[in-house]
Chains A and B, each alone.
Chain A
């Protein structure tokens, strides 16, 4: 190898050093335009002013003039005020719905990827097919199914049940199940991919070494699919935290309001309170970023272990 290729100007395969990072430029520009700038705009609105005529929040682009009053009020409301209640409820709903997604989705993904044999593509299709229908449409049909004279109550009364709860009057469970129903395929599909990647040889090795079915699952399959579970959870939890139409359609009661409803309310119903919605969005984003960081650290650690 000629010596000049080992200089600082060239990398190990003989390309100029800027060539490979150069490929990232379109992506970086794209990310800046569609992520960082809007992100900054949300800050500019949360910390901005109110237009004296239109009474709408106007963004303050210069951080020197940022006014943290609204932000402080929202933070105070979140820690000890009404919004805090909504935030706790939202976290409760999302974690409950995610836990149910794992309990229901894991066996389904496991069955489809490892036990369904040659019919697995059909199973996958059947799981995904209903989700070609618009999310709102599917929630609306739940409204029909769960209405007082809807099919759910008709079936219950067929089996002799005579008194039903009013499903749509603000039941926590109905909203949580709505979230589960709405997001579970997005949990199953990445998990299916993770389970599908597990090499049969590792399972056979486990059996050869004397492990029982249960031990094999617990010591081989589960650890190998854990990142798939985490990945699926990230995909469903992020949108769940911002969801507002599920509680709107399946309940409408103040008892089941989520943070998404509060943000929607500030931004869409009021004129001058939009900056409150922006501040709330930022707080929610920081919380979700914490969860995301946990995921990234875990994945990173797993990757390092695999390399060892």
Chain B
């Protein structure tokens, strides 16, 4: 190798580095046919080809514009749509299968969906450059990373009139991507507490100054579940300990959060699940579970036939009577990968998804709420898309502006190491 990143690496020299194609060719010459290897090699190449380093990470109080790059331009206006099939890269079970045929008819092409189970996997595959999807669904906290690594391309809003027409102004011009340069919002959700009022006393949760304390209540030992997701759950422990901005938590605060989670093992027999909120609650395995609002809306479809769905409750501590606690809020987005083969079609698909009727249809299956002006909580409840007792699981545009709302940003490697270390402590058991 003529070059090594540790040898006085100078960003201005980065064009001398192997291109991704060189890497792949070399990988092939070496006979490396194992599927994962080209992706690793190419990820290595991608590093040298990516931006200058600083991520543009915003929050509702401090919105940011994502940087534009000369070699990463939006497509021209007025282009003809490409031939299908349109390739979508999405989370598993995160788009209504009933909506796909409608979209195929509207766009006049076939649609193929590839899925990922976590965002690390998606980032790894996209940054390898060996896949070329047309539409991808990143979470809002990954947008800055995806832009800096030039994984996604700027959007041409001429193709997406529904963005300005239908989407909440707060998210049509969102804090993480001012002017929606690279992304449009897909769904939005809060993270809070789900419980069954037949198995838990609502008075233990509602009206409390810090509702997060419920997970540390030994009265519900054996009936409490948290998400098996380290960012969500470490954040939960930080919020419970009164840290108002978990993103800036100090090491001491993180250790205290880890202590609090370790305490849960003996105190309440805590269990970590990923389906506990929408499957475990209906099955009665949990009385109280850490919950994304969308999981809870969706849980109605997981109740046994003789079950009583009306016992389900949800509370978002950032907007609950008597609560002074902070609560997480977030949104997921749609974006077009930089190497998309059908960018015009991808824009048309995104516009299709931002149509009020289509997003409502999608909401009915996915359970995660689209930030559409027309789909107010009142509308959704009156038309029986969501039960009245779950009004608290619906997000409003104003929720993003609350002082008590917190949005999670990406963690840098050192911070993530600290969070991860506490998570290892919390989940290793006694």
Report A's interface with B, CB cutoff 8 A.
Answer: 33-34, 37-38, 41, 44-45, 49-56, 58-59, 62, 65, 77, 82-83, 85-86, 89, 147-149, 166, 168-170, 248, 251-257, 261-262, 265-274, 276
Contact = CB atoms under 8 A, between A and B. Distances in A.
B53 A269 contact: no
Contact of B31 (A33, A83, A271, A272): A33
Interface string B275-299: 0100000011100000000000000
B424 A83 contact: yes
B390 interface: no
Contacts of B40: 41, 44-45, 58-59
A252 B32 contact: no
A24 B34 CA distance: 21
B173 interface: no
Contacts of A265: 230, 423-424, 427
Interface in B377-430: 410-413, 416-417, 420, 423-430
A41 B285 CA distance: 41
A45 B211 CA distance: 42
B169 interface: no
Contact of B123 (A54, A148, A168, A251): A54
Given A56-B120, A65-B6, A273-B420, A82 B425 contact: yes
Contacts of A168: 271, 285
Closest 6 CB pairs of A and B: A254-B429, A252-B271, A255-B429, A272-B413, A82-B428, A53-B50
A136 to B, nearest CB: 13
Nearest to B414: A272
B161 to A, nearest CB: 33
Nearest to A40: B37
Which among B5, B51, B430 has the greatest number of chain A C-beta atoms within 10 A? B5
B145 to A, nearest CB: 6
Contacts of B121: 268
B177 interface: no
Contacts of B276: 252
Contact of B47 (A53, A83, A269, A274): A53
A268 B229 CA distance: 10
A50 B34 contact: no
B145 A58 contact: no
Given A51-B47, A269-B228, A272-B413, 16 more contacts: A38-B34, A52-B53, A53-B47, A54-B43, A55-B416, A56-B124, A56-B127, A166-B269, A169-B271, A252-B273, A254-B272, A255-B265, A255-B430, A268-B118, A268-B121, A269-B120
A82 B425 CA distance: 6
Contact of B429 (A33, A65, A253, A269): A253
Given A82-B424, A166-B222, A268-B118, A37 B37 contact: yes
A93 to B, nearest CB: 12
A270 B421 CA distance: 11
Nearest to B428: A82
B270 A254 contact: yes
Interface in B175-210: none
Contacts of A34: 34
Nearest to A35: B34
B36 A38 contact: yes
Contacts of B43: 51, 54, 56, 58
B225 interface: yes
A248 B412 CA distance: 28
A170 B44 contact: no
Which size class do B's interface residues fall under?
Answer: 35 or more
Contacts of A49: 5
B265 A254 contact: yes
A212 to B, nearest CB: 48
A41 B37 CA distance: 8
A86 to B, nearest CB: 5
A273 B424 CA distance: 11
Given A38-B36, A254-B427, A53 B53 contact: yes
Given A83-B424, A254-B265, A261-B427, A54 B228 contact: no
12 contacts: A33-B34, A41-B36, A51-B47, A53-B53, A54-B43, A54-B149, A55-B411, A65-B4, A254-B272, A255-B429, A262-B428, A272-B416
Contacts of B47: 51-54, 58
A274 B417 CA distance: 10
Given A54-B46, A169-B269, A254 B428 contact: yes
Interface in B315-336: none
A218 to B, nearest CB: 41
B414 to A, nearest CB: 8
Nearest to A82: B428
A254 B413 CA distance: 25
B427 A257 contact: yes
B79 interface: no
Contacts of A272: 411, 413, 416-417
Given A34-B34, A62-B4, A268-B121, A262 B424 contact: yes
B31 A55 contact: no
Nearest to B126: A54
B29 interface: no
Interface string B1-16: 1001110000000000
A251 B36 CA distance: 32
B163 interface: no
Contacts of B148: 53
